[in-house]
Amino acid sequence: MRIKGLLQSGFPAFTHTTYRWYWWGQTLSQIGSWAQNVSLIWLVLQLTNSPFLMGVVSALQNVPAMLLSLHAGVLIDRFPRRRILLITQSTLMLFSLVMAMLIGLGLVRYWMILVFAMGVGIVNCINNPAKQAIIIELVGREHLTNAIALNSASFNSARLVGPAVAGVLLGLWGATWCFFINGLSFLGVIYILYRLPQTSEYTPPVTNPKGTHSRTSILKEMAEGMKFVRQNPLLLLVIIIVGVISTIGINFNILVPAMAKYELGENALGYGLLMSSLGVGAIVGALFVAMQSYREPDVRVMMGGALGLSLLSVIAGTLSNYFAAAIVFGLMGCCMICFSATANSLIQTQSSDNFRGRVMGVYSLMNNGLTPFGNLYAGFLAELWGAKKTFLLSGLIMLLFLGVLALRKKKGSL
């Protein structure tokens, strides 16, 4: 009874059995994915010894989101999200197992990593917004904010555990096991998705007279989604802020390994633990947002997270001590999630059911689709000036952007 009361008061989304099982499945899968991501970046660094080429891999992984996110949003609004996720999760599992085999046999080359990154990116541009859009079908609108925050806690618990697992596995047995374990981790979430009941909230959009969707109707539905965003001032503002902060300030996958190896002198384990410190802070931030779910998502929490991330990025650019870096990265993780989880909640609560997939497609475009530019920006500057100076510059750019927004709001132009 006490546990049930705690769930109802603090984490009401967990009172929904289907969501609870889905959450656990995604958590285990994401631990595997984080272990794989960390090992992939470290593998590239070992093969090429180039932060810029490492940035190219990360950029390629997100190019499909830039090109296909709006199309993916239409797809998610047309078909049952459970069915979409079954396909995407199965495909990602296959990619990981094939890559594990190539690494284990000693056949992996840099160009293969590029192909793998592009393939994962194509699938994820559908998979990621579909994972977000299905949440309301599992918990309803009342507990949506709490569920989104708990999803952030899940993602960042994985960010904590996955890199630490990757650091140990890389040190003991190499990257093969990171990819193999990630492939196996998809089995649980695939089984849970298969067992989830068909939702009754899904209603496909109007088709043309022949019952099929023409290219014209796809473009029309994309345009309708963009128009919906433009006509909602708060929605538009949040999406613009997400685009700028995510592109300039959230390039940890490039800057942390470069800083760990070249400026702090750490090995794979030290790098993994630095990534885990980000996860610790992010979990704290996610739990804070989850406990605020009894109220409407607050723009001030989002902006506070963005400001904190900007200031801490400047501080990170001055550090030379490993333990100080771990503390600062932990605080950055907390601010990052206060920003991103609140932004996600604002976007979903401001969206109507008929447009949710397309709005999440726009959000994915700004949150992930612009990442290639951020990765190339971070990788190029890290190779030219070093990771610390890149952190410093990024923080200053974000502070300038937030300052301009504050001035415009003061003048009443926002």
Could you read off the pLDDT tens digit of each residue along the chain, which spans 414 residues?
A: 455 555 555 677 788 888 888 888 888 888 888 888 888 888 888 888 887 887 788 778 777 766 776 677 777 777 788 888 999 999 999 999 999 999 888 888 999 999 999 999 889 888 887 887 788 778 777 777 778 778 777 776 676 677 777 777 777 777 888 899 899 989 888 888 887 766 544 444 444 444 444 555 767 777 777 788 788 888 888 899 999 998 999 888 889 988 988 898 888 778 878 877 887 887 788 778 777 655 666 788 899 999 999 999 999 999 989 999 999 999 998 999 889 888 887 887 777 767 766 777 777 777 766 777 887 889 889 989 999 999 999 999 999 999 999 888 777 655
Cα–Cα distance measured from residue 242 to residue 234, given in angstroms and rounded to the nearest whole number: 12
Burial class (CB within 10 angstroms; exposed 0-12, middle 13-18, buried 19+) of 400: exposed
- 401's CB contacts (< 8 A; 6+ apart) are 244, 245, 248
Q: Residue 226: helix, strand or coil by DSSP? A: helix
Asked if residues 80 and 197 have their Cβ atoms less than 8 Å apart, the reply is: no
Residue type, 278: L
- 210's CB contacts (< 8 A; 6+ apart) are none
Which H or E run includes 51?
helix 51-78
Count of CB atoms situated within 10 Å of the CB of 106: 7
Dihedral (CA of 257, 261, 265, 268) sign: positive
Residue 321 sits at φ, ψ, to 5 deg, of -105, 130
Token pair, residue 296, equals 């409407």
Question: Which of these, 188, 204, 76, 69, lies nearest to 131 by C-alpha position?
Answer: 76
Cα–Cα distance measured from residue 279 to residue 273, given in angstroms and rounded to the nearest whole number: 10
